[in-house]
């Protein structure tokens, strides 16, 4: 997958970059090896593999995420995600709003392990090829997740995330890899790749992420 190749290329390129002064910025709260206090915007796309409707395969994803470290051990997150599944000139739309809390474990000098729970809701509109809404569903979701954050260099950070979500009618699992490079004290750019699977379909997606540290 091209997105995974891009992440590997970004990691390799960082080895040849000048050593960052990020370690002197003093903004990694509680001496954490990565930045937790940020607002991020992500844009991406992917392909939906399903036997239910073969015409609905191209997907566009947007993501707004607010994360902060409450204290040395606890992280909280508020996230909005929009997903558009394209077919012809129309699309299906799904909006997700979630709140999560996680426990951070400082297990390595340059890495953290974390685990938590997520609650929220989803609103899904199903549309036909003329663009008319056939139905609207609202679902409660509950999930658990675990991951690893790692600081490769003073400015290059990586994340691996495994998540399970339970909806009213369906459940899904996902696996994500991401890399972020801080060009300054406040701003980073990165890339991510994510695969989502359930009983009916698989979604492979990837995109770019911009983060603003606060």
Question: Residue 15: pLDDT band by 50, 70, 90 thresholds?
Answer: very low
Alpha carbon of 152 to those of 11, 207, 208: distances in Å? Answer: 9, 21, 19
DSSP state of 31: G
Q: What is the mean pLDDT of the chain?
A: 83
SS3 117: strand
User: What mean pLDDT is predicted for residues 150-175?
Assistant: 92
Phi, psi of 13 (to 5 degrees): -60, -35
Mean pLDDT of the 16-34 span: 55
- Residue 90 binned pLDDT confidence (cut-offs 50, 70, 90): low
Predicted TM-score (pTM) of the model is 0.81
Instruction: Give the Cβ contact number of residue 13 at 10 Å.
Output: 11
Distance CA 178, CA 19 (A): 21
pLDDT band at 22 (very low <50, low <70, confident <90, very high): very low
The model's confidence at residue 89, banded by pLDDT at 50, 70 and 90, is: low
20-34, 56-70, 119-133, 151-165: the lowest-pLDDT one: 20-34
**pLDDT value of residue 53:** 57
Confidence of residue 92 (pLDDT cuts 50, 70, 90): confident
Q: Taking the mean position of all CA atoms in its chain, how far away is CA 143?
A: 14
Task: Output 17 or 121, whichever has higher pLDDT.
Answer: 121
Spatial distance between the Cα atoms of 203 and 50, rounded to a whole number of angstroms:
9
Q: Residue 51: its pLDDT value, please?
A: 64
Q: How far apart are CA 152 and CA 169, in angstroms?
A: 40
Angle (nearest 5°) at CA 9 between 24 and 35? 30
Phi, psi of 51 (to 5 degrees): -95, -5
Residue 146 has a pLDDT of: 98
Q: What confidence category does residue 88 fall into, taking pLDDT thresholds of 50, 70 and 90?
A: low
For residue 86, pLDDT over 90 is answered with no
């Amino acid at each position: 997958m091209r997105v995974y190749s891009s992440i590997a290329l970004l990691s390799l390129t960082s080895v040849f970059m000048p050593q960052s002064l990020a370690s002197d910025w003093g903004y990694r709260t509680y001496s954490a090896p990565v930045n937790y206090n940020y607002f991020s915007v992500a844009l991406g796309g992917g392909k939906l593999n399903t036997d239910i409707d073969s015409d609905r395969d191209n997907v566009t994803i947007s993501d707004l995420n607010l994360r902060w470290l409450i204290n040395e051990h606890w992280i909280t997150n508020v996230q909005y995600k929009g997903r558009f599944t394209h077919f012809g000139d129309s699309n299906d739309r799904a909006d997700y709003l979630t709140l999560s809390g996680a426990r951070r474990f400082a297990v390595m000098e340059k890495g953290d392990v974390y685990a938590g729970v997520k609650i929220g809701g989803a609103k899904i509109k199903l549309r036909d090829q003329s663009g008319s809404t056939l139905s609207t569903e609202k679902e409660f979701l509950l999930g658990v997740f675990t991951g690893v954050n790692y600081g490769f260099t003073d400015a290059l950070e990586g994340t691996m995330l495994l998540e399970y979500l339970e909806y009213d009618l369906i459940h899904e699992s996902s696996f994500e890899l991401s890399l972020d490079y801080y060009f300054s004290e406040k701003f980073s750019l990165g890339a991510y790749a994510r695969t989502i699977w359930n009983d009916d379909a698989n979604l492979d997606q990837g995109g770019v992420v911009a983060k603003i540290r606060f």
